[in-house]
Structure 1
Amino acid sequence: MDNFIVSARKYRPVTFDSVVGQQHITGTLKNAIRNNQLAQAFLFCGPRGVGKTTCARILAKTINCEHITETNEACGECDSCKSFQNGNSFSIHELDAASNNSVDDIRSLIDQVRIPPQTGKYKIYIIDEVHMLSQQAFNAFLKTLEEPPSYAIFILATTEKHKILPTILSRCQIFDFNRIKVEDMASHLASIANKEGISFEADGLHVIAQKADGGLRDALSMFDQIVSFSNKQLTYKAVIDNLNILDYDYYFQLLDAIQKQDAANALLIFDSILNKGFDGGHFISGLSGHVRNLLVSKDPSTLKLLEVSENVKKRYLEQSQQLSSGLLLSALNIANQCEVNYRTSKNQRLQVELALLKMCHIASAIALAQNGIPAQAELKKKLPESGIIEPHKTTNTPPAVAQFTNPVAKQMDTTHPGGTSSNAPQANPAASNTNTPASTSSAPTAPETSKPAFKAWGSFKTANSLPNLNTIFDEKKGGDSDEPALVEGSEYLEVTQNVFLSKWNFFAEKLKADNKITLFTIMTASTPTLNGVKIEVEVENAVQSEQLKLGKIDILNYLRVELRNFSLDLHVVMVEKTKDRKPYTAQEKYQAMVAKNPMLEELRKTFDLGLS
């Protein structure tokens, strides 16, 4: 029985043309050999398993070949080529820097370089994992690397280029190896399977190539493993079973359930995935990739970005035509948020299930946004930008506007019986261009009682409302504040603590993304409580209380709309400090200093100093 040789060694390339996926490097090296423009030092860098050491060996063998072919490849038949293939060449030396990384090892190498080659034209040194050399060894190697004898060539290989000294990099020709493409890797695996008489499915080879993440050596190792597992019947099912990979079918079925808003089926699919031993984080990560592939499939020009087989690519194309871009983008956003929160969650399964339930309701949310225009937005459309109502736009008030309760509507009802605005001033720009004075206009001006109505509507101001520069730095009164008002509505749905907390935390994360760190810290410092429609938030000091009150309207406007309960209110609860902490704000620091030296307060009052 012959000894088994793994595919990574058995099918290791021996010529430049047989190297997979690195044509930009092999072409350059062949041209350098043809034109006799070989540098004294080469540096091959890139990820693992992409052919760095292989190309170094091919280059060394080709340089010393006695009968180079017309295509600038080694003949493989001369004494130099045979001795190299048998591992007993006296002109080509291979050194592992991981185990020979001291100054003494480099000195020994330098002494060997002084001896000319016994056979062949060049003496070539291949130093693998060169980044493992110590800094002293690098320094000892510098002079020889820069000015070696005419017959000496150094080929360095590394996976961590950033660890090599810049002085070494400047003395080498640097070649960056790419990750091998999935298509190239799958084709190479198919050629090996044909040579070995192994039956295979193209989908299975693509999965192996994707799992290898650009490294051909890893792909060949997995290939050997699955061939043994499947008894030379390499099928798609054998690959996903052996490599613990989730089947594409699960994700296609899940997106069909999301499209149909079938939440029960979506949860059952996730449960069956968990029963097969897959992790929820692995599932949600795969779901994000699946939705991304569907978005890519939307445009034929980006279809080439899919690194899957042709059969799977057709399925992606078919399903992408059935789903809207809005649904896919929302689902991708939900999946990404779930993936971020998954590791820190105590109930990880609930995180994924909650994300799936949200995805199943995306379609209805989109339909509601498209068909059901909120009454407030409808009323804003009826009001002109100048804050004056046009008569021809308010004679037939829609029912949605009539039912909307806000200060403007109430004031209009009390000022103009019947809901009409026939006494409102003309706002037509054409009418304003006439020479008729405002006092002689055919349309009488609105009564004085209607002015507060427009003042209460925060987003509409008259064109003549100029600020008073004399009082611009005075503290504004509560009645003249331009702060946004609380949204109002007629929905009062019951809100549970868990749903409330999820919306509360989501809004806090939005504040963090908008760089509103202070309010984010206050909202997440302690867990708020919901007592009916009363939200109680605990703070430790007056500074936190003031900051929370400043953000109260924005918080409530978001929660009222999202939770569909317009009676929610927020209350700040001051709690006593349980332990001493260092002063944070300028006021706290000043109070701490005054506690140590009361004379500071008299000094501040004497010179009328303030706190910045």
Structure 2
Amino acid sequence: MEHFIVSARKYRPQNFVDVVGQQAITNTLDNAIKNNHLAQALLFTGPRGVGKTSCARILAKKINQQNAELSEDEDFAFNIFELDAASNNSVDDIRSLTDQVRIPPQTGQYKIYIIDEVHMLSASAFNAFLKTLEEPPAHAIFILATTEKHKIIPTILSRCQIFDFKRIGVLDAKNYLKIICEKEGITAEDDALHIIAQKADGAMRDALSIFDRVVSFSGKNLTRQAVTENLNVLDYDTYFNMTDLLLNNKIPEVLNAFNTVLAKGFEGHHFINGLASHFRDLLVAKDKITIELLEVGDAAKKKYLTQSIKASIPFLMQAIHKANDCDLNYRASKNKRLLVELTLMQIASITFDGEKKKPANYIIPATFFQALSPAPKKIIKIVQKKVAPLETQKLSEQKPKLEKPVLKSAQRRTSSLSLKSIHQKKVVKKSVVEENFDNHPKDSFTEKQLQDLWISYITFLQQKGERSIASIFATDVPKLEPNFKVSFSVPNKLMEEQFRKGRPKLLNFLRKKLNNYGIDIFVKLNETIEKKFAYTPLEKFNKMKEVNPLLEKLRQTFELDL
């Protein structure tokens, strides 16, 4: 069995050309060697896995090769001394190093000392190293490498030429993985390599380690599905599907989709951060100038362009704001799942046009998504109990000001003999003509479906705070007549007038929900149901006395007046 060598070692850069994503630094170092302009103390700093130690080794080998008459295969390894400061961080270790520095090289021009993880040196070790670093022998060059520059004392920093290594870009890492796939005879989807590069988070060594792991899992054929399954990451499709549901106000499906994400073992914090990033990418995809900021594969970029057309900029801005608030409050929340679910419901309600003025944290009422009880009459009684009786009382006690329903355009009183009144009458006659729905659908429906939606609309009005009109719609049960005509009875003229004012919105709601634009509602005045509610204190007491006769004895005992 052949010994396996991990890709991070097998494909470690041997020349500056092989170093990924650090062209500015490698070009600087290469030119410094050619022009004999190299400092005697260099500090390589940056995140892990970006090529600091590799560049230090390449530089150490190149320094002596430049002035040597030997072949380029000679690496002058005996002139390169590598010290791990994590395990050799004492004063004695540094003193031993300074003693070696005094001895010139046997061959070659320079002795190179690479001190890795230099920030791990103790304070006394740093102080012991200062003098040697400030005035090194002509044949000594020090290359220090660290991931935490802020832990190095300023006196050391001031004596070094500092090179800041950057994180390796996703596209650079992906392209390097493509080269490795070609060398290893592996076929890989572009999105699969892109996910590996993203998961590495700017570290090439991590990208190669992940690559080895995925190859062990799926063999010589890397697919996006296999990579996401092995790395347990949420792929683009999860966020694309979730965004479609949010744009279509499908709150029940949104909650089910989030539950599926949690069932896969992902945290809500990870999901909401990914969703915010997805909204950011959709915002970026809206402009041709910023589309280059999308660090995704070609297939995913097409999906982003398609979905960005559906999502408006106001929606994306509000959604990002809500997702960001959820991210900030996540750690402090005791019920983290509920916090994310509320955020998703608020985002799904952004594009809902059921109300003109919505509060900042508006959520679509649940009555729009769940079926109601099959007994409409019973529910009407329950709704009637919830409706404030005082509002109904005020309506019944008031005298009707108008005998006929009045349109908004004709609500101002004018003299019947003025020219203005004649003009207004003409306008009213024109506005009475309703829209023609002959070419619209007219699906059949049952009386029960009608009554269920009627109760749903009453509940919706109550949640909006329009309890007065809700109480009027709850005074009777609508009945379905032939030719999709709906009849409804009210006890007095004032309620009839108020019903007619609320009729257009109710009619529009029923037509859309039942997909029948032939529906019409006729209101009837039926004074026999006028005493359905108890309006005066005496009527209320009599109603209560019917339920509990002992109330009359209580009134007489304490000589109470009504």
TM-score by length of 2: 0.63
In structure 1, the partner of 2:351 is 363
Matched letter for residue 80 of structure 2: I
1:576 aligned partner: none
Kindly indicate whether residue 65 of structure 2 is the aligned counterpart of residue 65 of structure 1: yes
* Structure 2 partner of 1:141: 129
1:310 matched to 2:283: no
Counterpart in the other structure of 2:382: none
Q: CA separation of 1:367/1:491 partners in 2, compared to 1, >3 Å: closer, same or farther?
A: closer
Query: 1:252: Cα distance to partner?
Result: 0.7
- What is the Cα-based RMSD across aligned positions, in Å? 2.7
Matched with 2:222 is 234
Deviation at 1:290, TM superposition (A): 0.6
- Per-residue deviation at 1:66? 5.9
Question: Displacement, 1:259?
Answer: 1.6
Higher relative contact order (CA 8 A, sep 6+): 2
Change (3 A) 1:134 1:188: same
The Cα shift of 1:219 comes to 0.5
1:334 to 308, 312, 322: 322
- Alpha-carbon spacing, 1:116–1:191, altered in 2? closer, same or farther (3 Å): same
Please list, as runs of the form range in 1=range in 2, the aligned pairs for 1:262-411 lying within 5 A after superposition: 262-365=250-353, 368=356, 399=408
1:261 has 2:249 as partner: yes
The 3 A distance-change label for structure 1 pair 297 and 112 is: same
Cα displacement (A) at 1:14: 0.4
Aligned to 2:465: 492
Q: TM-score, normalised by structure 1?
A: 0.58
In structure 2, the partner of 1:592 is none
Distance 1:274 1:493, change over 3 A: farther
Aligned residues: 374
Q: Say whether 1:52 aligns with 2:52.
A: yes
Structure 2 counterpart of 1:94: 82
SS of alignment partner, residue 44 of structure 1: strand
Kept in 1: contact 2:68–2:108 (CA 8 A): no
Map Cα deviations across residues 361-396 of structure 1 (whole Å, 9 max, x no partner): 1112598369xxxxxxxxxxxxxxxxxxxxxxxxxx
- The change in CA–CA distance for 1:400 and 1:18 in structure 2 (over 3 A counts) is farther
Query: What is the Cα deviation at residue 418 of structure 1?
Result: 7.0
Q: Give 1:426's aligned residue.
A: none
Q: Is the 8 A contact 1:66 1:120 kept in 2?
A: no
Paired residues of 1:15 and 1:58 also in contact (CA < 8 A): yes
AA partner of residue 24 (structure 2): H
1:188 is aligned, of 176, 179, 189, to: 176
Displacement, 1:340? 2.4
TM-superposed CA distance for 1:238, in Å, is: 1.2
Question: Given residue 208 of structure 1, which amino acid in structure 2 is its aligned partner?
Answer: I
Give the secondary structure class of the aligned counterpart of 1:368. Answer: coil
- AA matched with 1:44: F
2:103 equivalent in structure 1: 115
Q: 2 CA distance for matches of 1:151 and 1:68? A: 14
1:36 matched to 2:36: yes
Q: 2 CA distance for matches of 1:64 and 1:113? A: 16
CA distance in structure 2 between the aligned counterparts of 1:16 and 1:149, rounded to whole angstroms: 27
Q: CA deviation at 1:291?
A: 0.7
SS at the partner of 2:78? Answer: coil
Q: Unpaired runs of 5+ in structure 2? A: 359-406, 416-462, 468-562
Q: Do structure 1's residue 12 and structure 2's residue 9 form an aligned pair? A: no
Indicate conservation of the 8 Å contact 2:34/2:66, yes or no: no
Question: How far, CA to CA, are the matches of 2:464 and 2:144 in structure 1?
Answer: 71
Partner Cα separation in structure 2 for residue 340 and residue 90 of structure 1: 54
Note if 1:221 corresponds to 2:209. yes
Q: 1:68 to 1:91 in 2, by over 3 A?
A: closer
Task: Identify the match of residue 165 of structure 2 among 158, 173, 177.
Answer: 177
Instruction: Output the CA distance in 2 between the equivalents of 1:401 and 1:358.
Output: 39
Give the aligned residue type for 1:277. Answer: G
Q: What is the Cα deviation at residue 401 of structure 1? A: 13
For residue 125 of structure 1, give the secondary structure of its aligned residue in structure 2: strand
Higher-Rg structure is: 2
Taking the aligned partners of 1:237 and 1:196, their CA distance within structure 2 comes to 21
Give the corresponding residue for 2:507.
none
CA gap of 1:493–1:135, structure 2 versus 1, over 3 A, is farther
Would the aligned equivalents of 2:112 and 2:143 in 1 still touch at CA under 8 Å?
A: yes
Structure 1 Cα separation of the partners of residues 101 and 187 of structure 2? 50
- Which shifted more, 303-312 or 347-356? 347-356
Structure 1: which amino acid aligns with 2:11?
A: Y
Q: Tell me, yes or no, if the aligned pair for 1:62 and 1:68 is still in contact at 8 Å.
A: no
Structure 2 letter corresponding to 1:209: A
SS at match of 1:14: coil
Contact 1:16 1:58 in 2 (8 A): yes
Determine if contact 1:92/1:123 at 8 Å carries over to the other structure.
Answer: yes
Q: Is the 8 A contact 2:81 2:114 kept in 1?
A: yes
